[in-house]
Chain A
């Protein structure tokens, strides 16, 4: 590996442009990665403040703060913004920054398209958020936007929502094409597929998932568009359409989508755990196969979101079995992570703390997922807070902790400065406690019978809702600390980071200096 050789190759390159044009016109994967990450964090705060409104209203029974119409807009926008604005762009940002560094490529394969796929996002979200100010309000039909609530009965702003989804979809597809082209064509000589770092592997598979399902999402919103504006009846029973068709198409996108949000996080922790256990990842090959298996199975389980719509019993059984099967490769991954920690020599810096919490809490989310897979039991769980608890357990300590872990792990590489470890740990512990306080009681609420997406609830649900709200406020406020930590680091306040600040870290990204120069790997490194 010849990192030092690269640095002097830098001299022949120009640095970043000055001023705004640097960001508007950049084709540099690091700049674009940073923009994705900043955008994603902004969306995380926006979507988070909507969650705060929701939890404030649910703090007590009765309507205190918002009206039901607005409450529904908040749940809808919270979901849409977190999924499409916070989690997905964050992983694309990580991919932009890290994939070229990890495979030893000078940049992404298609840099101009890269710029375009980023800049589509602010446009899409500007449009989506502007619906809040339109007559009739923002979309209010849940992030799953089931027809006919979202078509015949949707607010006028629905058409803007559809356009925004189209734009996000184009952005994601272009991002995915870029990832695939980069990984398949630009790996350093000697880096065979089975030598690729796991983050690269998981992103490769995620990109294929994106290309497979984003067009399906585009299809379903286009059908809505036609129903709303051009007189078709895809989903309108009165015109011979089929509201259940909507759900089949939506979840054919929607289930792989949840893996799109988690697989890159699998990759991240598969780097961090070995690094801080100072021991190679256990079962590299089985990790790769497990991710592949999960991705394939994710196309065969969509109707487990629809156990109550009345699909025939054979369909019901098929989707139940297929869903249960996903537990096997997921289990393999968890066992592998634990086996990696076993007999290691562990230290617990912030990235490791987030990764260990990831393994524990994601597994809990996996357990509730397994419970939800049991179709007869799902009749009781479905559309209750049990489901809300489940998907927040896989998304918050899953996707989002994965992103935090990645951010802390690679911040020294990005900024050249070590983050403040004490603050990082504080951020972790407050997030950990807040998150569990917010979401664990939701299991109880769901089991006791509280439906989801309601602005007010019966009195027996009062106590746990209050606990949950307190936890949510705690978690929400804590994220400002993260902003502070990162800004501090970017500004250069803190210890200077060496090229490889983590004793046990492996990979090409640690062979370039910290902060990573504007251009890296102009000549490819050799991988043995």
Chain B
């Protein structure tokens, strides 16, 4: 009975919201010609977001693996250092990290590439979360698997390579895909150091053309176009790594 009630309420609320949004979007009096001169900017912004995200995705996996390795290495110093790094990154806002990373750290070493700094900061941020996901995946492999591997005569490295990592990959895929989607969305914060990515271009178009709807609506589709393939890919890989059957 309660289940029925909840599902009814949820359906009604969601349907109403959905219809309302649809009505707002559909009933608007569009003037697409107002932003016609800026289409090029929008596309270049989307392209920058794609590049930043792709670069940061690769780098964040590399850093994430290193952070996980450091924490599980069994050596005290790297383990503590990685732990501090992860806690620090996860405990502070990305916006602050971007500002400090660019204006303080990069400036002090004379590095002036906004794009480069943006990629590095975004990678470090995402890597901290990824390393927690990876660590959880590795620690979720049952003790019996480690013991069997040891009994066979595998070295520590062989145990990881042939037994632990192949099983852990499947377990961390869904959460990692979620983190990749977050990374793409978080890249919009790079406007604070004037990286001309997708969101920043929209804001500028809005400011120049006074066409809020026309400037912001493409964002929805543009970001979804980037995140949805990741979700599809993750589902495909999950099936490929399935070993129950």
A and B found bound together: no
